[in-house]
Amino acid sequence: MLTVGNTFPQFDLEACVSREPGKEFKQVASKDVQGKWMVVFYWPKDFTFVCPTEIAAFNSAQAEFESRKAVLLGASTDTAYVHLAWRENHPDLKNLKFPMLSDHAKRLSGELGILTGKDQVALRATFVSSRARTRSPCAPRSSWIRKAPSAGST
């Protein structure tokens, strides 16, 4: 599983972003949020019992994420069409303010290390990625390195 110090993988996924006809879907890519904090949370499957409560709680905190210049993205391995159907059929999901990413091919969830068992269902997981995520997490910036004084210098 991806952990502190790892770089969040690049992604380009279809997302359900609205219930308005003709505006339901769009591509969301990591390059779209570059330079911002990003919070990505996964739930196992759409149309499950606990997930809407969790998703609604994230949605109620959307303004707080925005005030901190953080982009909120929800995701599961269901298709964007399943996300839309769930939003249409569950009162707590009708007015979501963040994209529901479709990781149907399970590429991002696989890179994150959150798929379980032979069914390859995503675990519940939340990742917070900093603005500096494009920089290698292990490579120090040159400004962090001080040269040691050479022998005989004062």
pLDDT of 21 over the 80 cut: yes
Tokens linked to 149: 């004084």
Domain ranges of the chain: 12-144
Q: Amino acid identity, residue 93?
A: L
Query: What confidence tens digit (pLDDT) does each residue in 24-44 have?
Result: 999 999 999 988 899 999 999
- DSSP letters of 53-79? HHHHHHHHTHHHHHHTTEEEEEEESS-
Q: What share of the chain is helix, strand, coil (3-state, %, to 5)?
A: 25, 25, 50
- DSSP letters of 4-46? TTPPPPP-EEEEE--SSTT-SEEEEEGGGGTTSEEEEEE-S-T
Query: What confidence tens digit (pLDDT) does each residue in 37-96 have?
Result: 999 999 999 998 777 899 999 999 999 999 999 999 999 999 999 999 999 999 999 999
CB 107 within 8 A of CB 36: no
In this structure, CATH architecture of domain 12-144: 3-Layer(aba) Sandwich (3.40)
Backbone φ and ψ of 72, nearest 5°: -105, 130
Beta bridge partners of 71: 38
Instruction: Decide if 138 is catalytic.
Output: no
Q: Which pLDDT score, from 0 to 100, does residue 131 have? A: 66
Question: At a CB cut-off of 8 Å and minimum separation 6, what does 58 contact?
Answer: 41, 72, 74, 98
Q: Which of 51, 72, 101, 112 is catalytic?
A: 51
Instruction: Please state whether the predicted TM-score (pTM) of the whole model is above 0.85.
Output: no
